[in-house]
Structures are given as structure tokens and as C-alpha cells.
Amino acid sequence: MNLSSLNDQQRAAVRHTEGPLLLLAGAGSGKTRVITSRIAYLLKNRGVTSEAILAVTFTNKAAREMRERVESMVDRRQAKGMVISTFHALCVRILKEDIEQLGYKKNFSIYGGADQLRLIRDLLQEINTGLRKYDADRVLYLISDAKNRLIAPDTFQPRHGDEYSGVVAAIYPRYQRALKAFNAVDFDDLIMLTVRLLQDKPAVLEKYQQRFRYLMVDEYQDTNAAQYRLLRLLARGHNNLCVVGDDDQSIYGWRGADLGNILDFEKDFPGTMVIRLEQNYRSTGNILAAANAVIRNNRKRKAKALWTAGGPGDMIDYLLCDDDEDEARTVVERIMAEKFRASLNYRDFAILFRTNVQSRAFEEQLRYQNVPYVLIGGQQFFDRKEVKDVLAYFRVLLNPRDEVNLLRILNTPRRGIGDTSADRLIRFSAEHELPMWQVLQDAAQVDGLGEKTLEAIGRFVQLMDSYRRRFRVGRLSETGRELLEELRFEDDLLRTAQDPERARRRMANVAEVVNAMASYEQREAQPTLEGFLEKVSLLDRDEPPRQDKDAKLQRDAVVLMSLHASKGLEFPCVFLVGMEEDLLPHKKSVEESFDIEEERRLCYVGITRAQQKLSLLGTSRRKKYGVMQTRAASRFLEEIPGEVLRRSIGDAPSTSTEEEKDQLARTAFANIKSMLGD
């Protein structure tokens, strides 16, 4: 395989195939190219069979793109058996083969957030003997955090004086028992149960260790305790583990990512080869100088500095605006001027912010100026209520013991089984320790159900039995469409919606589920309802779905997005707004964690999204609950070298003299120095 197009460090990373390898890949340094070249090198030059290769990443999109690149570099037949997937998809693959050894059936359901919350709320009602109401979202977050740290229900210890951790200690075991009784797992279980399986069943562990002899992990800085343990188990024996990541871009500590995993890799895997990818192929020299200068102030990091073979490029602008409305006007006016001057497209511009609430002023100004824009984020397609209602039918058809989804669809669309009747069914099921589906099949034994209710239940059971058979023999999308037509889903949406336009959007979403099934059928050689639901469950939860995010980024429109959402993307022109204390760094992070380093990494990520031009903006005043408050410039601005930073007042008209403007800028930067104790 010809490696002449790679630089020296990239070639060294590709050729180092035996033993642990830590690849510190700076922003824009071509890490995906190195990973895919390394896989191709193993296949073509080292004679490694595709079945022995496992590459793991965090998103379906990244896994798909990695596979496509490898297949373009080698014979498709040569790459056929390799596994390139997300952590969760890998664990589903393992559990589908061996979960029975943990007491589950192979046709388990995977509960999403709404299903989990409904179950948590039911359990909270069971234990709540007083008037205190507990937040189900918070309870679920704490359970998820425990699972990501591999803390089992029987070993969870409440923290002294923490009321919610005491509630979790009571709910967590009940929650886990209920999931198992429903033959269901949640997203966090996929990894935790796989780790338990590999730890408790030596034969299963040995099978996967022998199969996957070459492991590669992308975005290793984002791994949590459970993912780390999974990788250690799989790599034990051969130690051919290559991890690729950038500690300077670790920005997900709030959701369990452990920076120590990448910082301690050499200690955890003795004999590690460390290679730094520092040549940047994205940004100009001035942008990289700013990024290096900011991140250098973090103590918990591996030393490295990005550089480019290109020139310094334009200086970085810092624009101090009067208020948030002035900030928005300044950005939009600069976008319009630069688009005309440099003949750029609207999609070449990105506005990045620390919090989503900052988008409002920019959206209003862009609309006012008739500038097209897209806001990346918002509710994911498969999280919408009407979509989850349809999927609930499919889940119950596959797994009648899935009681959370069974109760969701019992009277959706409305069929005359009200809350009182549902409550009687639930109580009878609990008192007689019978599965709900079994109770529904003989509902006449339940006291207090009227004749019309019994007829409605009978029709529902008959419908489900009929479509369970039809899904086994018919085409998925056709059978799904017929089910929705028989349920008269669209009629129910029109009848219950207050806003006809919203009803039409929801109807389009229901129709899109059938479209998704049809697309799945086209992609798969042997499509099944189980396979379709598995694909849906494994869609990335923490990023906008591909059909939304990718389509938006292809439109010729200015991109608005949070710093967290921007990771992995790049734009010719970037406006990093809200460069103020309490925004970047965020007040909550400073006050609660007293650790500024993740906020600095967020700033670093924002800076390194820019390819050609970077503008930093802040305000001297900003509205909070409708009241103007004085703002202090972000401490990160003072860390950027003066020779690459051009400071000025925002472009909006002002009656201030030039001397007053200079004094305002000097005062803003003096605020930073006094805050840092200079």
C-alpha cells in the first residue's frame, strides 16, 4: 500500500501495528485518514483477516464514513468481515449472541429516554408515601451516571445528605428488576451488561479476544468508565489497541467522559508508542497561534502544538459590542459584507455560542435581513411523540412483554380504554403477578370493565395478533403502512390537534416512519422488524439525526450551533460570540466545578473550527430577565497573543468618540486582569 501521501507522523502511526499505540491527533490533523489507512495497511500489507479488525467510534455517521473510506482503499471482499461500529452497536452485536447467559431472551427491547422516564415515574409513585414530588429526569440521570461508572444496583451507595441519591438507592434496583421482567434493557445497559458478560463468562471473553486481535478506537478522550473497561477486556492478551484522540478536545465531562482515560493510557498499557499528529490541514497560522496559546494554560493535558505549512492568514478580530442586539447586528452585517467581498456561500459562515439561548438575537437579525440560516439542534425525529407512538406498536408486536410500550399504545389512538380501565388492568396484573398482555387476552376476568371497554380490548388484541403474523411474512413498509391506516393515526392527529399546521407536520412525521422502514428494507439483504427497531434504537442520541443535521449543513444557509455541537466540523468563517465571563467560561461550570479547564477546551474547539477567518465577539452589556447587566470580557481573550488579535468596537453606529471607544476596550481587558489577579 502506498503511504507517500501521508506525513512522517501519519506513516509511523499506520506502520505501528503491534502493541499499544496512543495517537494524539490535534484538531484538523487528518486522524480519520490515518485510522482508515491503518486498517487498509493491516489488510493489504500485513495479511490480517478482516474478521480480526474492530474499529469503534461514537457516532453512526463516523462509523459509516470510516467503513466507506476503507472499502474505497481495498477490495470490498477483503473488507467484508471487519467490524466498524459505535460502542453501543458493538455491544448489541455481542448481547444478541450471548445475553441468554445473563438471564435475558435474545429478542430484548432497547428502551429509549421516554420509555425509561415512564417506568421511572411509575416506580416513583410506588415508593412515594408523602407529598414530595421527585424529578424523574434527575433520577434517571443519576442511574445513567451510575451505570456509566459500572455501579450495579446492589452496590449503589447514597451520599450523605443528598436526598436524590437516597431516592436512587431505592429506585435503581426496582428499575433494573422491572427492565429484566419486561425483557428490556436501556442504552446504558448495553455496555454495562456486555462488560458483566465478558467479566463473568470467561469462554465468551476468550471468544471475542481471539476474534478481535486489532482494536482501534476513535475519539478516545470521550470514553467513560464503562467503555474503558470494555476495551481493556477485549484488548487483554494481544494488547494491539490503538486509541486516537485529543485531550484538548475533551468537552463531554458533564456526561461521563473521563479525561484520565487518555492522560493515563501509557500507565495503563505499558510499552505504549506515543505519536503526535500536530500538522494542521484546516486553519491558518494566526488561528492556530491563538488556539495553542489558549489551550497551553490547561495543566491536565499532553504537550503538543498545532502548526501549518500554510501562511499566517488574516488576523483574528475581537469586536466589543454594546449589547446582545448590537452583537447580532454586527455579525449579520459582517457576514453579508464578507460574502460579497470574497464571493462565499452562506453555508461558509458559522455562528458558535456556548448556550442555545444565545441564538435568539441572531435568528431575529438574520430573518430581518432575509439571510437564510439553519439552527443545528432541536428535537430528534425519533424522539417526537407521534413517532414514538408508532414505534411502540412495532416494539410490542416484537416483544409483548414490553409493558411500558404496551401501556403507551393501549388507548393510542383512542379506542375507548380510558385511564380508569387501564388502572384496573394494571392493578389486576400486579395483584395476580400476570404479564399485562396475558391479562388483556382474557380481560373479562378483570372486575369493573364495561362491555364497550371489553370489546375495545378484544379488537386491540385481535389487531396485534393479526399484525404479528403479517410482519413475519409481508414487506415491512407495506405492512407498517397498512397498520397505520387501520389504526387511523392521521385522523386521530387531526382530531386532537389544536393547530392544523402542527397536525400536518405530525402526520408527515408518522408517514416518515414508513419511509424509514422502506429505506431500511432497501439497505438490508434480510430486513426484519427486529432489525429495523435495532437500527432506530442505535441512532445517535446526543447529536442531531443524520437526515436532519447533514441535510441542514448542505443547505446554503448560515449555520447557528452550540460549541458542543460544532465539534468535528469546520467552516471558512467562524463567529465565536459571547466571549464574556459567565458565558465562556460559563458561570455554572466556574461556580459548581471550580475547574475552568473544560471551558477552555470548549473555547479551543470553537477557535479550531475556523479555516480562514475567525471573529470573536462580546458585549459590554447583556439582558438578563429583561434587565441590562454590565459584562466582563472572557478571561480567555487575554490568553490570545496581541500580535494575532485585532481589537475594535462593534460595527453598529455609535455616538462615542474614538477616544471613548478605545477607553471602553481598555476597560474591558482591564476587567480580565483584575479578575485573574494580575
**What residues are labeled active site?**
31-32, 218-219, 249, 609
Helix H or strand E segment including 585: none
Q: Is 32 annotated as a binding residue?
A: yes
Q: In what order do the strands lie in the sheet with 645-649?
A: 373-375, 558-562, 349-353, 571-576, 610-619, 316-321, 645-649
Contacts 24+ apart (CB under 8 A), 543-549: 543/59, 543/61, 544/376, 544/377, 544/378, 544/380, 545/380, 545/381, 545/382, 546/60, 546/61, 547/381, 548/378, 548/380, 548/381, 549/376
Q: Is 26 annotated as a binding residue?
A: yes
Cα of 25 vs its chain's centroid, Å:
21
Q: Is 25 annotated as a binding residue?
A: yes
Give one DSSP letter per residue of 329-358, joined into a string.
Answer: HHHHHHHHHHHHHHT--GGGEEEEESSGGG
Q: Is 291 annotated as a binding residue?
A: no
338, 573 Cβ separation under 8 angstroms: yes
Q: Is the peptide bond before 585 cis (omega within 30 degrees of 0)?
A: yes
Question: How far is Cα 492 from Cα 489, in angstroms, rounded to an integer?
Answer: 5
Whole-number Cα distances in Å, 582 to 32, 172, 588: 35, 35, 8
What does the chain come to in residues?
678
Q: In what order do the strands lie in the sheet with 21-25?
A: 83-86, 53-57, 214-217, 241-245, 21-25, 273-277
- Nearest C-alpha neighbor of 528 from the set 462, 474, 465, 467: 474
Would strands 558-562 and 349-353 be described as parallel, antiparallel, or unpaired? parallel
- Nearest C-alpha neighbor of 578 from the set 618, 544, 634: 618
**Cell numbers given for 507:** 402526520
- Nearest C-alpha neighbor of 611 from the set 281, 250, 279: 281
170, 198 Cβ separation under 8 angstroms: no
| Secondary structure class of 141 (helix, strand, coil) | helix
Question: How far is Cα 304 from Cα 24, in angstroms, rounded to an integer?
Answer: 9
Which residue type occupies 107? Answer: N
Q: Quickly list H helices, 17-58.
A: 31-44
DSSP 428: H
For 356-413, give the secondary structure using H, E and C. Answer: HHHHHHHHHHHHHCCCCEEECCCCCHHHCHHHHHHHHHHHHHHCCCCHHHHHHHCCCC
How many C-beta atoms lie closer than 10 Å to residue 111's C-beta?
23
Q: Is 27 annotated as a binding residue?
A: yes
Whole-number Cα distances in Å, 4 to 12, 125, 513: 12, 65, 46
Mention every residue, 6+ apart, whose C-beta is less than 8 A from residue 216.
35, 38, 39, 53, 54, 55, 56, 241, 242, 243, 244
Q: Is 496 annotated as a binding residue?
A: no
Q: What are phi and psi of 13, to 5 degrees?
A: -65, -40
Q: Is 657 annotated as a binding residue?
A: no
Q: Is 80 annotated as a binding residue?
A: no
* Cell 499505540 -> residue: 21
Q: Quickly list H helices, 381-526.
A: 385-398, 403-409, 419-431, 436-441, 451-473, 476-487, 489-496, 500-523
Residues at the binding site for ATP are: 25-32
